[in-house]
Amino acid sequence: MSEAVNKNRRKYGVMSFAQTRHYRLPLAGIVSILHRVSGMLMFLLIPFVLYLLDKSLTSEISFEYFKGFTSHWFVKLVILALVWSYLHHFCAGVRHLFMDMHIGLDKDSGRKSAVGVFAVSLPLTALVALKLFGAF
Amino acid sequence: MANNNIGPKRLVVGAHFGLRDWLAQRLTAIVMAVYTVILLVAFLSGSNFSYEGWAGLFAQQWFKIATFVTFLSLLYHAWVGMRDVWMDYVTVSVGLRLVFHVATILWLIGCAGWAAQIIWRM
């Protein structure tokens, strides 16, 4: 039995990145891969968030430094990327929890809930972007 | 009869393989969602957006504990997620995957130490 498993494994390995480009992902698939991308981004940027928290809490002097640091456009951009990651990961995660309870598993509702994820996460990200870059 | 179910020939499939991590990932996600709501309510209902207001929120012991518990949830959640990612994409060698796994663990534990220091220093 274990030989049969190994034979199949050799025959159908993981597809290469070049192969993935021949596929057009459905909307639910885009939500899924972005769930991974946003999760990895947040994993890598944990020290950045901790640095901001550290500076904002240590003292009044470091708080002023924090305000100056976060007023730089590039830092704002990184924060915006984190905010999008959080919102997307949150919404896609809630979608996941419903699917764990066997709600909305068929193709049609899967697509609808994928639209729902973008409909919530993207406007909220846009709202934060406007606030960050001083539109209101 | 030769025992052919040991070492590399062992079949690692069967019930509840990975179930605990799967469930823990869901529960830690709920912990983080609850903390998000607490933080948003505390922030949006506040009127003091100066250093005193912000540091005052983090000065309360219950909030320190809530923050730390949430961070530990994050650590476990990220471990399960990153391990899934490495298992799916780093397939060329088991040794390389182990390197990524260990690097992920060290990264997360380092971050947890820093978080604890930030939360309880003040």
Interchain pair A39, B26: CB under 8 A: no
- Spatial neighbors of A60 by CB under 8 A, at least 6 apart, are B51
- Which domains are seen in chain A, by residue range? 26-132 (1.20.1300.10)
Confidence of residue B91 (pLDDT cuts 50, 70, 90): confident
User: Which chain A residues have any C-beta within 8 angstroms of a chain B C-beta?
Assistant: 1-2, 5, 13-14, 36, 39-40, 42-43, 46-47, 50, 53-54, 56-58, 60, 63, 90, 93-94, 97, 100
Domain B18-121 adopts which CATH fold? 3 helical TM bundles of succinate and fumarate reductases (1.20.1300)
Q: Residues 39 to 98 of B: which have CB under 8 A from any A CB?
A: 51, 54-55, 58, 74, 78, 81-82, 85, 88-89, 91
pLDDT, tens digit, for every residue of A46-72? Answer: 999 999 999 999 999 999 999 999 999
Interchain pair B10, A2: CB under 8 A: yes
Q: What is the mean pLDDT of chain A?
A: 90
Nearest CA-CA distance, residue B97 and chain A, Å = 14
Q: Mean pLDDT over residues A39-50, rounded?
A: 98
**Separation CA B8–CA B11 (nearest Å):** 8
Of B112, B114, B92, the closest CA to residue B104 belongs to B112
Q: What pLDDT is stored for residue B117 in this prediction?
A: 96
Shortest CA distance from A100: residue in chain B? B26
Q: What pLDDT is stored for residue A1 in this prediction?
A: 47
Residue type for position A9: R
- Phi-psi sector, B15: left (phi>0), alpha (psi -120 to 50), beta: beta
pTM equals 0.87
**Separation CA B75–CA A50 (nearest Å):** 13
Phi, psi angle pair for B48, to nearest 5°: -100, 95
pLDDT, tens digit, for every residue of A13-31? Answer: 677 778 888 888 899 999 9
Nearest CA-CA distance, residue B22 and chain A, Å = 11
| ipTM of the complex in this document | 0.85
**Separation CA A73–CA A75 (nearest Å):** 6
Q: Which two tokens stand for residue B40?
A: 């948003």
Are the beta carbons of B87 and B97 closer than 8 angstroms? yes
Are the beta carbons of A120 and A91 closer than 8 angstroms? yes
Show me where the domains of chain B are located: 18-121
